[in-house]
Every structure is written in C-alpha cells, then in structure tokens.
Chains A and B, each alone.
Chain A
Amino acid sequence: MNRISLAFRSFFAILFGGALPEDIAKAFGFAKPTPPPPPPPPAPVIKTSDGALQILGILQRDARLVDFLMEDISAYSDDQVGAAVRSLHEQCRATLDRYVKLTPVIDGVEGTYAKADASAGKNAVKFVGNVPSGPPPKGGTLRHRGWKAQRVELPALAAKQDVNIVAPAEIEIE
C-alpha cells in the first residue's frame, strides 16, 4: 500500500470521521479482526425421496395400497382379490385426486389422429413405430393419452416426522 495515500486517508478519516478506516486500523494492529459472519443455517435437507415416501405413506394410510402391493395374492381367488381391489381402488383414486391432480397430456380419443403439441414440453410426447429421422412429426395415431401432474399438494412434513415409516405398526391395548 502506498504510504502517502495511507497517511492522507488516515488523516482525513480522523479529521472528518473521527476514526481510522477499518482496513488501515486492521493492517496496523489497532483493531482485532472481526470474525467472519457465521455461515447461514443449513437449509433443511429435503431429499428427493421424501416426497415419494410421503405419497406412498398417504396412499397406505387412506387406501392401504402398500399392504396390497406387498401381499402375496397368488393363493387367493379372483373373487377375493376383486372384492378387496374394488374398495382399495376407489380410495386410491380419491386420494390421488386430492393430492396429485392428474390430467391427460393429450386429451384426445385413443386410436384416432392427434396432433403432437410442440409446446407441451420435451418429454411430453413419445413417438413410437415408424418414426422418420429429422424434425419430430406433427402428429400421428394417439396410442396413450399420457398423464401429467397438474398440481401436487402434499401437506408439509412435520420436523420430527420420519418419512421412512410408511405405515406405523399398530398395537392395540385390550
């Protein structure tokens, strides 16, 4: 640092401001270095798996979907499975409707011609079959309407909630 400029800066700073500039004071040992500001508190860790486990937990709570998927149903008759699925399906659907609003990507009739909307997003349309090389085709026969999550409304997780618990064990006191 230039001595003259240091001297002038100190002189005028004391004359008009009544104090040495901070950097000069530090450089000459007149002030203790201030500790660096504490780092911001770490943002709550939200793993991508949290939302997945949460929706699984909700589907289990409301409709017992995990119980059904994890059960070995090979031994049961179609009748028995059908009876269980009917009520489970109704509940699952109501729950999905509530938390993840699903709409078709292309709201057309499957099996008829549909335009591939270029504005729908990169992975919104998948072309299958005799796809020409070059620019994507303008349309074709709609085989699957696709699904799009219109909105997701999952309740906030409590701070101490362990999302790994998809369903708690139940113990009844008799």
Chain B
Amino acid sequence: MAENRYVIGIDLGTTNCAVAWADATDAPDALTLPRVESFAIPQLVNPGEVRDEPLLPSSLYLPDGKDFPEGTLQLPWGGDPSHVVGVLAQKRGVERSNRLVSSAKSWLSHSSVDRTSALLPINAPEGTPKVSPVEASRRYLEHIRKAWDQAHPDAPFEQQQVLVTVPASFDAVARELTQRAAAEAGYGPVTLLEEPQAAFYAWLEKHPDWRERVKVGDLILVVDIGGGTTDFTLIAVTEKGGELQLERVAVGDHILLGGDNVDLALARVVEQQLAAKNTKLDMMQFHALWQQARVGKEKLLDEESTAEEHPVTILGRGTGLVGGTIKSQLKREDVLRTVLDGFVPQVSSHDMPARQRRAALQEIGLPYASDAAITRQLARFLRQQAAQVEHGSVRRTGSGMAAPTHVLFNGGVLRARMIRERLMDVLNSWLAEEQMSAAEPLLGEDLMQAVSRGAAYYGLARRGRGVRIRGGVPRTYYVGIETAMPAIPGMAPPMKALTVVPFGMEEGTSHVFPDREFGLWVGEPAEFRFFTSSSRKNDDAGMYLEEWKPDELDELAPIEVNLSGDTGEVVRVTLESHVNETGVLELYCVAKDGRRWKLEFNVRERVG
C-alpha cells in the first residue's frame, strides 16, 4: 500500500542538501496536483542534541575519540560514531578542518582524480581516515534515507519514488557516480534530474497558470548560482498539436564558482582592512568573519537598504571577550566593488571568460573557475554553447546570440536583489544592442528549497500529474576510434570520434552502429577512449568526426569492458548506446549472437 505512494525530491547540493516530498495519493482528482512539502531533516546540531533543520549541510566530519563525549553522536535511528553529517559536522569542522569533508559534489565531477578513491579531506595529515567523494555523497544520502524512515515507518524509503538532482553540467561519469552513491546508500532506483530544470519545475508548481505567462517562441534562461557552482540552462517554449511544450535546449559547462566565493571575497576585503591596522585574525575568527560577510552582503544588497556600511564584530577568542573584540565595517562601496564589479560586472556580450586561473579563488585540487565574472560566463554560454542549438525554436539576435525572453533565478546568492538586477541589466543591454526587447525576470519562490521541491513536482509529472520538460541528453558523446594507418614512430595514430550519443537523445531510446565492428579478446579488458562536447549539437548518431577544434571535445574517463567467456576467443562486437528511463547513459558491446556486455567507466585512472 505504501509502496510508491510518496515522491521524494532530493537536492544533493554542494554546500547544503534539501528534501521535499509529495503524497501522490493526496489529491481529490487526477487534475489536482498533490501538495509538495519540504521535509525537515533531523540531525546533530550539538553533541547529544538532535534537531530538525530545513537544510542538511553537505558536511561530513570524521571524528576520532577525542572529539565528542561518548554517546553524544546518537541519532534517533541509532548512531555511527565514525561519521557525523550536517550542522554539527560543519561546526566542528571549522575548529578541526583537516577532518572535515566538504564540497564532495564538486569532486564528483572532477575528472583528473580517481573519484572512488579515499582522497578527502584533501588536506588531512598522514594517518587520518579519508573517504572518497562517492562515499561522502553516500553518507548524506544515507542520512536522508534514515531520517525519512524514522518519520515514515509505514512507507519505507527504498519503496518510494526518489529523484536526486545533479548540476546540468554533470557529465555521464559524474551522473553515474551519483547513482552509485545512491545505490550504496540503500536507495532503490533513483531518477536523476538537472538542477536548473528542477528550479523551473518549482516555478511551474507555484504557477499552475504558466500557460498564460509564457507563449510559443519564448526562451527561458535559468541562472542557478548555488553555494559552489553556477549553472545555466535554456528552456524553449514550443508547440505540438496546439499544446504548449517545454524543451530544454542548452546546458552550460560546469563552472565551479558560487555564493561561497562571493562571501569569501568579501571576508578577504575586511581581513585586509584589519591587517592594515595590524589586527590579525586566526582561523576561527576568519570563519566568523566569513559568516558575517554573508549576512552583511545580503543586508546591504537587499531591499531598499540605504545603509553605507554593515558593522562586523568579531568577539575576542579567549575569556577576554570585550577586550578582544575586533570591530570593523563592511562598506557598501566595497560590497558593490567586490560583488557587482567582481562577480557580475557590466561586460559586452563578446567578452569571453579569461582562460588562466586566478590564484585568489583557488584551493588545492578543485578546478575552480578561472574567471570570477559570472556575466562573462553567461556571455560565453549564450554565444558559444547556446548559439549552436539545432532547434529552430530558439530565439536569437542578429549576430546569433541566444536571446532569452525570461530569466528564472535560483540559488542563495540571488536573494540579494542588486545581484539579480545587475544580471538583468547586463543581459538586457546585450539584447538592446541588437534591437531585441528586454527579458523579464520570472519571480521564483524560496531560492533555497526550490530545487528539491521542483524535483518532487517532476516525480509527479513522470506519473502524468504535471507538465514535463522535454530534454534528453544535454551533451554529445563520442567513442574514440584509432584509424588504421601505418605506425609512425613517436606519433599516436590519428583518431576519429564516433558519435554514439547525439545531443538531445531521449530517455528510453537506443542507437546501434552496425557498420563498425570491433574484435575483442574474451577475458581481457578492452578500453575505449570517451569524449563529450557541450558545444557540438548537430552530430548525428553514427557520424564520424575526422577533426575538431581543441576546446570542442573534452576527454572523459575511459570506458572499459571485460568480456566473459572462454579465454582466447575473439568476439566481433558492435556498439550500442542506450539512455534508460531514469536518464542514465549506458553503452554496450553486442555480439552477433546477441550476447551483451556493458561498458563501465573506468574512473580509477587519471585522464589526460
């Protein structure tokens, strides 16, 4: 009875997780949409104290015996003293950072490391336990499952319909690793959904009259600036048989740049002002400053604030609280300069992001965005990535730039009104230059919960209880094939790329490539090089690429297959690509006699 009754949407965020749910049976008729509710997540907030919080910080702390008194890590569903997840992990992690795992999600999409090996926390000293990015994600997902089971003993989590959101820019490997983390966390089958789409679904849920708010030919730009990542997506409004349809037509690259960068930059400004007065902050004080920078930024940039500065107070560290208090101000002009000019500067639509990495934004390991200017990243998205969309439905300017009619914002940073306004101003100045009408902002809802709520809505939509955005695979995928040529010493044989997954390939469809056969040895692993492109969108399945521009194709982790059977046999196989119902890409080797072997990503080795 309780099976599949609930739809559970999980926003597995870089810095915070959120959960929303809907009871699919809770509607008087088929036309009424069940209500979507947010799920408060019980978690340790202090040693020995469990509380329900709207968000679960994506922080994993690996305590040793000295960290917490015995028995104070108990959760309502029992306790595992080797891991702490949530608010307490975040708190204690500030004090002892080399046992804190954070931003695990950014590592999931980082192709130059083995994402299944225990490498986090990256700065942990020798002898400290470490976990893999997959394992960290599993811990958050497992916490959510157990919290759900605790609250709904009659409706076990693994029997419900579960949706997990991922950045639109996650490639096939990162998506599969997310699925693996969910499976290891005891989840049943999960459906992945792209975050910007989820944000748009949340808007649809809030506006059942959406058909009166947009019309055919409109183009909606979703700007999703989370704690650690920025994601752009374009959704076109099309028509089929007199019905309005929504189609996701373009997805941006993975940009590791988010709200935390903004707050950190502001904290650095204040820190430098203090340093000029010979006041030095220790790690804990800097962290307090970081938190206050976030509050100050929101106060100064929000609503009709006319304050010229926001007081910043950092209390003394020892027992001398008043005597050690450090006072400073976050000045409006500094905020405007740092945030508006640094992160959302007024640029031309021809300005492309700088290539080289900026030291100020880097932390060891993660490939942070080289250019902090979100507006330049947007220019690149609208000009390069979105301009090559095959669909005629995309509205464009004379010079070929995609021209949105509406903008939907998502993410905590965008609570600051002036940042939203600056983004609108910049976009509209580009449109005005080419005599296009201005785009309008779509008013969203709670910017922190929208993604999980949208995911729950999408779960209902999959059951036919709401509108679905058509999209398919947001990238093109290729398998590298070495061309048969006499070997030249010192030179790799030239390579062609076979398009195995065309852009927009829909869920539940397959492609076969009968004209290219491979002879594979049974019992020996065979490896294929694997590439993806977010800008080439017109390559049909089966098409060979002889050459391409260096930045058009990105190499992913290789895929490998190990044919089972009698060793020594050579089997002639062809490739088959398949996108399953949950949006996961699968590749198979198929023999003439019908035997099939699945190709797996090999994330163990370093790529490139």
Contacts and interface: CB of A to CB of B under 8 A. Distances in A.
B321 A84 contact: yes
B320 A158 contact: no
Interface in A58-84: 61, 64, 67-68, 70-71, 73, 75-76, 80-81, 83-84
A68 B319 CA distance: 8
A158 B48 CA distance: 7
A155 interface: yes
B69 A83 contact: no
A158 B70 contact: yes
B327 interface: yes
Interface in B296-345: 311, 313, 315-316, 319-323, 325, 327
Contacts of B49: 155
Given A83-B313, A84-B315, A155-B46, A161 B321 contact: no
Contact of B327 (A61, A64, A83, A159): A83
A89 B259 CA distance: 28
Contacts of A43: none
A96 interface: no
B466 to A, nearest CB: 38
Contact of A71 (B48, B311, B321): B321
Contacts of A87: 313, 315
Contact of B322 (A61, A80, A155, A158): A80
B322 A71 contact: yes
Contacts of B47: 158
A174 B72 CA distance: 27
A138 interface: no
A151 B325 CA distance: 34
Given A83-B327, A155-B49, A88 B321 contact: yes
B71 A159 contact: yes
Nearest to B51: A98
A67 B71 CA distance: 28
Interface in A29-68: 61, 64, 67-68
B48 A84 contact: no
Nearest to A64: B321
Interface in A131-174: 155-161
B48 A83 contact: no
Nearest to A62: B46
Interface residues of A, number: 23
Contact of B315 (A75, A88, A157): A88
B321 A68 contact: yes
Given A155-B48, A157-B48, A158-B48, A73 B72 contact: no
A126 interface: no
A73 B324 CA distance: 11
Interface residues of B, number: 20
Contacts of A3: none
A122 interface: no
B73 to A, nearest CB: 10
A67 B311 contact: no
Interface string A90-103: 00000000000000
Contacts of B323: 71, 75-76, 80
A87 to B, nearest CB: 5
Contacts of A83: 311, 313, 325, 327
A71 B48 CA distance: 29
Contacts of A80: 322-323, 325, 327
Contacts of B313: 83-84, 86-87
Contacts of A75: 323
B289 to A, nearest CB: 12
Contact of B319 (A61, A71, A73, A81): A71
Nearest to A154: B49
Contacts of B71: 158-160
Interface string B185-203: 0000000000000000000
Contacts of A158: 47-48, 69-72
Residue of A61, A81, A88, A158 with most partner-chain B CB within 10 A: A158
Contacts of A157: 48
A64 B373 CA distance: 39
A31 to B, nearest CB: 45
A64 B313 CA distance: 14
Residue of B49, B321, B323, B327 with most partner-chain A CB within 10 A: B321
Contacts of B72: 158, 161
Nearest to B73: A158
B571 to A, nearest CB: 59
Interface in B28-46: 46
A170 to B, nearest CB: 8
B218 to A, nearest CB: 44
Contacts of B321: 64, 67-68, 71, 84, 88
A64 B319 CA distance: 9
Contacts of B69: 158, 160-161
Contacts of B50: 155
Contacts of A73: 322
Residue of A68, A73, A155 with most partner-chain B CB within 10 A: A155
Contacts of B46: 61, 155
A98 to B, nearest CB: 8
Interface of A: 61, 64, 67-68, 70-71, 73, 75-76, 80-81, 83-84, 86-88, 155-161
The 4 closest A-B pairs by CB, nearest first: A155-B49, A67-B321, A84-B325, A84-B322
Given A88-B321, A157-B48, A158-B72, 9 more contacts: A64-B321, A67-B321, A80-B327, A84-B315, A84-B322, A86-B313, A87-B313, A158-B47, A159-B70
27 contacts: A61-B46, A67-B319, A67-B320, A70-B319, A71-B320, A71-B322, A75-B323, A76-B323, A80-B322, A81-B322, A83-B311, A84-B313, A84-B315, A84-B321, A84-B322, A84-B325, A86-B313, A87-B313, A155-B48, A155-B49, A155-B50, A158-B70, A158-B72, A160-B69, A160-B70, A161-B69, A161-B72
